[in-house]
Structure 1
Amino acid sequence: GQNIYIGIDAHLKNWTVTVMTENSLTKTISQNPDAGTLYTYLQRTFPGGNYLSAYEAGFCGFSAHRNLEKYGIKSIVVNPADIPTTDKERKQKEDRRDSRKIARSLKNGELTGIHVPDKETEELRSLVRYRKTLVKEISRHKSRIKSHLHCFGIAIPGPLAQASTYWSGKFTQWLEEVQQSTPYGGMVLQSTLATVKHLRAELLKINRKLRELEKEVMYGFKIKLLRSIPGIGLIVAVTLLSELETILRFKNLDKLCSFVGLVPRTNTSGENDKTGKITSRSNKPLRGIIIEAAWIASRNDPALAQCYLELCKRMKPNKAIIKIAKKLLNRIRYVMKNEKEYVHSVVQ
């Protein structure tokens, strides 16, 4: 049958769907957010067609994609920023207009789907990202406690004020014993402290669950390989495995660096060729953790340490570390692709 192009603007309570045929027949409908309902409509209105659909990556994740595929509707999930958009569509945003835009771009062959991970990898990714959220929340609540102490002029005792003893058992015990002139201030302090304790307990549970991955057949060997690289510990290794899933989907190092977001902005026009700052387009969880790992690797790997010192002679440290991060990514790619442990370089 002929190709039927389906653009879906997905929302919590409804889908706005635009259907286009090869001869430009266009229909736009609003329906329940259900792949089965859409399939029934397509079978009734466009029987025997080859159904091709696309929707923007967003809150519904990849569940809609899997449901569409289950009904034989070939689906891709696209980055919203990669959909060609006119100035009018940008300034007059509507669900119907958005779904027509997706269907039109799909029909014109202008859309490239993002990688869809398997369900196990997606769930592991959600746990790793939730862990990062917990770490941020703990840091935020700790800052609130310190701000509260400063606000009311409560000085931290000398031995506990050192960075090495911050948030130790003794420091937490001292916070529990802090007395304020009224119960109101004390309630704020103790309530925030209780939240920190709860979040730290949840973080400990997640860390234990992630450590169990080292014993699993599917992840244990890969984690061992990655941890052989300087700068990479358990959390970095698990983040890499959950965000990348397989290194084989990247044809070369440039593709991997582009995905992570370690490439500059470029502006080439005529004889002008400009290279700007690092691009904002990135996998944010991965880029942040790779740069953190690069700082550690630049101190522990002799070859990377020497390279970093040479780079710092002609550029700022923050720029030099991006180049080290690229070299670290190259090591990660080699180890994962060849399934061989990293061998430390020896500087003569």
Structure 2
Amino acid sequence: MTDTNMVQESIKAHVQFLEGEIAKTQQFIQEHFNQFPELKSQRDLLTSIPGVGDQTAASILAEIGSIDTFESARQLAAYSGLTPRERTSGTSVRGKTSLSRIGNSRVRKALFMPALTATQYNPILHDLWERLLKRGKTKMVALGAVMRKLLHLVFGVFKSRKTFDPNYGKQFPPLAD
């Protein structure tokens, strides 16, 4: 057996080991949810939002702890670093606005891919995405706004203790742009 074959076999063995450990960890997380009915119901509420799956729900629940810690969705967004930060200093008052990123980076990381998915499958977030792109916003700016809105939906679902309803708020006229 050549050195190259030995290295390849070693890498394959490591990958198989890691895949087994990932499966064990996912099983442990599932069992943990099954042991705590309140936690399981919170996960079920989160997964009712299009774009949020089991893994994202587990990450969000692990990172934010009790939703009662936050008085508003804005506080939760600030905790997660998903609030806009304006850059103005002295005479340079036309700095670009960006995400503050002062906050829990793990929540932002957990929301990135679900926000991308939600732009396709969540009607509320899809409309927001399209509206921002039509206004000339870059895709990353629009995605940051979608992540923030997704976190607002998470907060709303937790506080109301009701599953996600894409038609909620349709009875109200849209705000003027």
Query: Could you say whether these structures have the same fold, taking a TM-score greater than 0.5 normalized by the shorter chain as the test?
Result: yes
The aligned runs of 1:68-83 (5 Å cut-off) are: none
Deviation at 1:273, TM superposition (A): 7.1
- The correspondence for 2:133, drawn from 304, 309, 312, is 312
Deviation at 1:266, TM superposition (A): 3.0
Amino acid at match of 1:243: E
- The correspondence for 1:197, drawn from 9, 16, 28, is 16
Deviation at 1:263, TM superposition (A): 2.1
The unaligned stretches of length 5 or more in structure 1 are: 1-181
- The correspondence for 1:266, drawn from 63, 73, 86, is 86
Amino acid at match of 1:236: T
State the alpha-carbon separation in 1 of the partners of residues 12 and 153 from structure 2: 42
Contact in 1 for aligned 2:98/2:141 (Cα 8 Å): no
RMSD (Å), alpha carbons: 2.3
- The correspondence for 1:335, drawn from 157, 162, 172, is 157
Comparing both chains, which one has the higher relative contact order based on Cα–Cα distances under 8 Å and sequence gaps of 6 or more? Answer: 2
Contact in 2 for aligned 1:264/1:275 (Cα 8 Å): no
Q: Do residues 236 (structure 1) and 25 (structure 2) align?
A: no
Asked which structure has the greater CA Rg, the reply is 1
Query: CA 1:316–1:268 in 2, change beyond 3 Å: closer, same or farther?
Result: closer
- The correspondence for 1:225, drawn from 37, 45, 49, is 45
> What does residue 250 of structure 1 align with?
70
TM norm structure 2: 0.83
Identity among equivalent pairs (%): 27
Contact in 1 for aligned 2:80/2:101 (Cα 8 Å): no
Contact in 1 for aligned 2:83/2:148 (Cα 8 Å): no
Contact in 1 for aligned 2:73/2:156 (Cα 8 Å): no
The aligned runs of 1:100-249 (5 Å cut-off) are: 183-216=2-35, 217-249=37-69
Deviation at 1:270, TM superposition (A): 6.8
Q: Do residues 296 (structure 1) and 78 (structure 2) align?
A: no
Q: Do residues 322 (structure 1) and 128 (structure 2) align?
A: no
TM norm structure 1: 0.44
State the alpha-carbon separation in 2 of the partners of residues 298 and 257 from structure 1: 19
Tell me how many residue pairs correspond in the alignment: 167
Q: Encode CA deviations 1:143-172: one digit per residue, 9 max, x unaligned.
A: xxxxxxxxxxxxxxxxxxxxxxxxxxxxxx
Contact in 2 for aligned 1:265/1:278 (Cα 8 Å): yes
Amino acid at match of 2:57: A
Q: Which has the higher helix share?
A: 2
SS in 1 for 2:82: coil
Contact in 1 for aligned 2:77/2:148 (Cα 8 Å): yes
Contact in 1 for aligned 2:82/2:99 (Cα 8 Å): yes
Deviation at 1:230, TM superposition (A): 0.8
State the alpha-carbon separation in 2 of the partners of residues 295 and 317 from structure 1: 10
